[in-house]
Amino acid sequence: MSNPFLKQVFNKDKTFRPKRKFEPGTQRFELHKKAQASLNAGLDLRLAVQLPPGEDLHDWVAVHVVDFFNRVNLIYGTISDGCTEQSCPVMSGGPKYEYRWQDEHKFRKPTALSAPRYMDLLMDWIEAQINNEDLFPTNVGTPFPKNFLQTVRKILSRLFRVFVHVYIHHFDRIAQMGSEAHVNTCYKHFYYFVKEFGLIDTKELEPLKEMTARMCH
């Protein structure tokens, strides 16, 4: 494991959570392998995100949501020691954008939090969603709930905020570790996917608009 980015990831336990895996032999596992094979073959990311013929949209989306959660978690885990209550007292994306946390439990109203606190709540919340069998059924044939795509939009919008914070406030750390190409590829993959299936409102994408225009067009 000579890659310093991967070393950094696997030596950390602060915000790195165990990966959500797909059970071998399941349709979801086969889709996951198909998606990974496209990426490994160096296929254009715009093409790699397209729904394969004959596959179910909900299954394809579920596989990617779990994959993006795992990847974004790793990216944040590598810079988290530099993202503290002192350095990032507000969860923001530059001076124009501040993200407030809201959930169904403790924070019923949008609440200003430090970036590390926000990230912690966010990762716990997404983990709970993707491990909820009613929302992300793992048994083939079990239908997805009617609110599946609505929930997915919320998950992906919130994951996008991690990219915003990392790019705007911690990119020097990413560059210092030599992992910008890896992070950029993860971002492009995420961006093309949400655009392909209309899973994020355009206004959410505003903070990285200029960077995205350079990187993805």
Binding site annotation covers 58? no
Residues 28-37 pLDDT 10s: 555 666 666 5
| Domain enclosing residue 157, as ranges | 57-82+116-216
Binding site annotation covers 186? no
In the chain, the number of structural domains is 1
Indicate the pLDDT class of residue 136, thresholds 50, 70 and 90. Answer: very high
CATH number at residue 151: 1.20.140.30
| pLDDT for residue 149 is more than 60 | yes
Measured CA distances, 178 to 6, 69, 175, 187 (Å): 11, 22, 5, 16
| pLDDT for residue 147 is more than 50 | yes
Indicate the pLDDT class of residue 141, thresholds 50, 70 and 90. Answer: confident
Q: What is the pLDDT of residue 43?
A: 66
- 130 falls within a domain: yes
Binding site annotation covers 217? no
- 6 falls within a domain: no
- 3 falls within a domain: no
- 32 falls within a domain: no
Indicate the pLDDT class of residue 55, thresholds 50, 70 and 90. Answer: confident
Helices (H) and strands (E) in the chain, counts: 8, 2
For residues 166 and 8, give the distance between their C-alpha atoms in angstroms, rounded to a whole number: 16
Residues 153-168 pLDDT 10s: 999 999 999 999 999 9
- DSSP codes, 88-115: -SS-BSSTT-B-EE--SSS--S-EE--H
Q: What is the pLDDT of residue 16?
A: 45
Binding site annotation covers 216? no
pLDDT averaged over the chain? 84
Q: What is the pTM of this model?
A: 0.84
